[in-house]
């Protein structure tokens, strides 16, 4: 009975870890969607008002860099989970 309880406890911990990581990924995706929306808006401003292209380009680059950092962190977290559980 003790072995079964230990296995169930281990599975519960694993499930909680995966659920936690899934929730973090959902937050990353939500932020990335917001970033893409902002990038799209800045690009539309440039199309309508080309004289603002330099200002808007800096904003686009900044948001792209933030997005890349978030994606790299997400991939690193997933790789770490894979390493621990393989």
pLDDT for 7-55, tens place per residue? 888 889 989 999 999 999 999 999 999 999 999 999 999 999 999 899 9
Q: Could you tell me if residue 71 is inside a domain?
A: yes
Which tokens go with 54? 């330099």
Q: Is residue 53 part of a domain?
A: yes
**Range 72-76 average pLDDT:** 92
Using 50, 70 and 90 to split pLDDT, how confident is the model at 58?
very high
Does residue 15 fall inside a structural domain? no
Residue 51 belongs to a domain: yes
- pTM for this predicted structure: 0.75
Q: How far is CA 22 from CA 11, 16, 25, 72, 81, in A?
A: 16, 10, 5, 16, 11
The answer to whether residue 5 sits within a structural domain is: no
Looking at the structure of the chain, the number of domains it has is: 1
The residue range of the domain holding 66 is 25-85
**In a domain? residue 8:** no
**pLDDT tier at 2, thresholds 50, 70, 90:** confident
Distance of CA 62 to the CA centre of its chain: 16
Report if residue 31 sits inside a domain: yes
pLDDT over 70 (residue 1): no
Whether 17 is in a domain gets the answer no
């Amino acid at each position: 009975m003790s072995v079964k309880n230990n296995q169930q406890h281990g599975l519960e911990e694993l499930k909680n870890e995966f659920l936690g990581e899934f929730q973090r990924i959902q937050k990353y995706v939500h932020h990335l969607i917001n970033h893409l929306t902002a990038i799209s808006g800045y690009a539309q401003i440039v199309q309508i008002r080309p004289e603002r292209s330099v200002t808007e380009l800096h904003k686009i680059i900044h948001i792209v860099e933030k997005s890349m950092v978030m994606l790299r962190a997400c991939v690193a977290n997933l790789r770490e989970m894979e390493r621990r559980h393989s």
